[in-house]
């Protein structure tokens, strides 16, 4: 009887153990599937936690490899390298992970760390063949990045011997020739790529740039024109810009005008691109003696970007500057609408937000503003008379600056301070004040008035 009970208990314990074993195995399998699903969805942190738990329970090398992959995808390359090194030390016949798989991941970690020395050691484990082409291409890129151009060139030539139609390898080789100032060979490679891919607009663009380096404007124009026909988006804008600049080199302004007008129609919704095209169109009008049209465009640009390129110089050439007396008269005679526009353009010129203003004809235009870049408070006083200012003007302005806790102040004085007052500016209490006077007074206010 006792033997029967003992046997029964033993059988029950065995059944329970088998049940628990199968339950644990099923749980681990479910967790493994869940972790793989999370990894495939790009949820690497969540997948990493589960793989770490699975590895701590099993010490299975396959899970350790997945931990390394998660770390790599999370850009923790140094940690991933240590993990993959541990995987290498524990590879056995029962593992699904091979040495090649681990060396592959180690290589990409070193590439991402720009560690060319260790990447070079790892790549020695790979046989040079078409199956491993991608790894050797990455290594060529790494060599280019580290300015080992001659080595990169030789490696790329070797890659092309096993796959002569690899566009990426050919492009890298052409770019390497270009960096080595071997433009003719770069052109030969770009032309080969175009024979393989006749509608590759990016290669046409690079080919046009190469012709430009050789000062062959005719071939550059021909190439850019073809590239424009098959390109879209930002690349199309870059090609158009390069084409226009090439027209300018050969003084073909009428041809530039035709393409610039087409470009403005296409890129009118992008202010930065629109302004660049307007600028070149205005220059084209300027050089073809269509000064009125050039002036209108320069003026339009100045409303958005008063400091763009050299438009203030060109506007000075197209329209005579107002003299200081004329500026003072203009400011004193402003009506409400002109005054509002002046404040708007003053804010644009300095990148200020106008908070408050007071207009006292024949006396002063007082503006309170904040800098849109650093949010500093600025007090601006434009004196509406011509005579030099005395020390009372400077002292009163400094008191207002201090009282209202402004960060800095600008005083516009047509003819500056009188000689007896300039010494005050040496004192620390006046260090927040900048004087805009004489030529600077005229230059700045002329630019603002042109924006009206």
Name 116's Cβ contacts closer than 8 Å, sequence gap at least 6.
Answer: 110, 142, 143, 146, 148
Decide which of 81 and 94 is more confident.
81
Find the radius of gyration of the CA atoms of the chain: 36
Q: What is the mean pLDDT of residues 56-77?
A: 92
Share above pLDDT 90 across residues of the chain, in percent, rounded to a whole number: 73
Please give the pLDDT value at position 68: 95
Which of 444, 438, 442, 447 lies closest to 311 in space, CA to CA? 447
252-319 folds as 1.25.40
Please give the pLDDT value at position 7: 64
| Cα separation, 427 vs 445, whole angstroms | 28
Spans of all domains in the chain: 24-126, 252-319, 324-450
pLDDT higher than 70, residue 256: yes
Please give the pLDDT value at position 28: 58
What SS3 state is found at 231?
Answer: coil
Please give the pLDDT value at position 316: 77
Please give the pLDDT value at position 363: 94
Please give the pLDDT value at position 319: 75
Please give the pLDDT value at position 76: 95
Question: In CATH, what class is 324-450?
Answer: alpha beta
pLDDT band at 338 (very low <50, low <70, confident <90, very high): very high
pLDDT higher than 70, residue 5: no
The helix/strand count (H/E) of the chain reads as: 21, 5
Please give the pLDDT value at position 8: 62
pLDDT higher than 90, residue 211: yes
Please give the pLDDT value at position 248: 95
pLDDT higher than 60, residue 21: no
Strand order, beta sheet including 352-360: 352-360, 364-371, 377-383, 408-413, 433-437
Which of 288, 343, 293, 286 lies closest to 313 in space, CA to CA? 286
Strand locations in 257-363 (E): 352-360
Please give the pLDDT value at position 291: 85
Decide which of 292 and 103 is more confident.
103
- CA of 83: how far to CAs of 65, 213, 415, in Å? 7, 48, 73
Provide the β-strand partners of residue 356: 368
Say if residues 283 and 293 touch (Cβ distance below 8 Å): no
Confirm whether 24-126 and 324-450 share one CATH topology: no
- Lowest average pLDDT, out of 21-30, 382-391, 414-423, goes to 21-30
Determine how β-strand 433-437 pairs with β-strand 377-383.
Answer: unpaired
Q: What is the mean pLDDT of residues 96-122?
A: 94
| Number of neighbouring beta carbons within 10 Å of residue 24 | 11
pLDDT band at 251 (very low <50, low <70, confident <90, very high): very high
Please give the pLDDT value at position 27: 57
Please state whether the predicted TM-score (pTM) of the whole model is above 0.75: no
- The phi-psi region of residue 321 (left if phi > 0; otherwise alpha if psi is between -120 and 50; otherwise beta) is beta
Question: In CATH, what class is 24-126?
Answer: mainly alpha
pLDDT band at 346 (very low <50, low <70, confident <90, very high): very high
Residue with tokens 């503003």: 369
Residue with tokens 């062959």: 216
């Amino acid at each position: 009887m006792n033997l029967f009970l003992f046997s029964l208990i033993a059988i029950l314990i065995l059944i329970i153990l088998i049940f628990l074993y199968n339950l644990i195995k099923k749980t681990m399998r479910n967790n493994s599937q869940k972790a793989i699903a999370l990894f495939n969805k790009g949820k690497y942190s969540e997948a990493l936690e589960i793989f770490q738990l699975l590895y701590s329970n099993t010490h299975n090398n396959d899970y350790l490899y997945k931990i390394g992959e998660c770390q790599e995808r999370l850009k923790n390359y140094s940690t991933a390298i240590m993990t993959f090194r541990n995987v290498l030390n524990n590879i056995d016949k029962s593992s699904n992970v091979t040495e090649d798989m681990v060396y592959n991941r180690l290589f990409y970690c070193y590439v991402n760390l720009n560690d060319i020395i260790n990447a070079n050691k790892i790549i020695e484990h790979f046989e040079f063949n078409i199956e491993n082409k991608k790894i050797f291409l990455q290594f060529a890129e790494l060599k280019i990045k580290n300015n080992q151009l001659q080595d990169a060139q030789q490696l790329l030539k070797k890659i092309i011997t096993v796959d002569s139609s690899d566009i990426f390898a050919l492009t890298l080789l052409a770019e390497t020739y270009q960096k080595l100032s071997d433009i003719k060979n770069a052109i030969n490679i770009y032309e080969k790529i175009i024979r393989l891919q006749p509608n590759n607009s990016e290669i046409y663009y690079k080919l046009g740039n190469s012709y430009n380096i050789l000062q062959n404007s005719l071939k550059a124009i021909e190439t850019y024109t073809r590239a424009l026909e098959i390109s879209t988006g930002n690349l199309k804008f870059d090609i158009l810009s390069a084409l226009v600049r090439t027209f300018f080199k050969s003084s073909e302004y009428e041809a530039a005008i035709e393409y610039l007008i087409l470009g403005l129609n296409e890129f009118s919704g992008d202010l930065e691109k629109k302004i660049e095209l307007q600028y070149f169109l205005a220059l084209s009008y300027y050089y073809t003696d269509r000064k009125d049209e050039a002036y209108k465009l320069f003026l339009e640009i100045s409303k958005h970007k008063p400091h763009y390129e050299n438009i203030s110089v060109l506007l000075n050439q197209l329209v005579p500057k107002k003299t200081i007396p004329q500026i003072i008269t203009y400011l004193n005679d402003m009506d409400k609408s002109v005054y509002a526009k002046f404040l708007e353009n003053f804010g644009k010129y300095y990148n200020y937000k106008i908070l408050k203003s007071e207009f006292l004809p024949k006396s002063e235009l007082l503006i309170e503003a904040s800098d849109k870049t650093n949010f500093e408070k600025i007090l601006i006083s434009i004196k509406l008379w011509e005579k030099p200012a005395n020390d009372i003007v400077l002292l009163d302005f400094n008191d207002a600056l201090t009282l209202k806790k402004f960060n800095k102040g600008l005083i516009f004085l047509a003819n500056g301070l009188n000689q007896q007052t300039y010494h005050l500016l040496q004192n620390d209490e006046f260090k927040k004040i900048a004087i805009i006077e004489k030529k600077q007074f005229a230059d700045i206010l002329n630019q603002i008035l042109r924006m009206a």
